[in-house]
């Protein structure tokens, strides 16, 4: 802050002390706002990482490579919208990808619309499935 005060005195020597204090207070306010913003963004990123890990955990624990948005929501602790899941995929493109999955009914039969076309739902795919260790390669 001393640097900013000295800079204000050199740049605008004719300013009164009152205006210098107001300008310095404004700079302090901007600085505090930026700190608050960084903390907020850090917390948001940590929540996104936690959601990513929960989805990947569900995929890996069940041996799946893809899951629908509805099934992914079951793995998440917090209530999440489809838009939030899409932003999660965009935030971590090296881990998750957006896919279309053929819709199935309760009896695991493929669902078709009235025209006989396959119905698809939004889903999440894991980018690289975990490699199973093979005894021959060890």
Whole-angstrom distance, CA of residue 11 vs CA of residue 102: 67
Q: Say if CB 29 and CB 42 are below 8 A apart.
A: no
Q: What is the pTM of this model?
A: 0.69
Full strand arrangement of the beta sheet holding 96-102: 66-68, 120-126, 96-102
pLDDT in tens, 105-138: 787 788 787 888 888 888 888 886 545 545 444 4
Instruction: Mark out the alpha helices in the chain (DSSP H runs).
Output: 2-11, 17-62, 69-75, 82-91
pLDDT in tens, 48-101: 999 999 999 988 888 888 888 888 888 888 888 889 999 999 999 888 988 888
């Amino acid at each position: 802050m001393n640097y900013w005060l000295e800079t204000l005195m050199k740049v605008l020597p004719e300013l009164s002390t009152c205006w210098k204090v107001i300008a310095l207070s404004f700079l302090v306010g901007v600085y505090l706002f930026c700190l608050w913003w960084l903390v907020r963004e850090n917390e948001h990123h940590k929540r996104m990482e936690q959601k990513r890990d929960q989805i990947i955990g569900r995929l890996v624990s069940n041996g799946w490579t893809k899951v629908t948005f509805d099934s992914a929501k079951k793995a998440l602790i917090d209530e999440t919208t489809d838009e939030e899941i899409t932003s999660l995929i965009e935030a971590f493109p090296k881990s998750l990808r957006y896919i279309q999955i053929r819709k199935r009914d309760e009896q695991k039969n493929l669902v078709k619309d009235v025209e006989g076309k396959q119905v698809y739902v939004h889903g999440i795919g894991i980018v690289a499935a975990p490699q199973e260790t093979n005894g021959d390669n060890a």
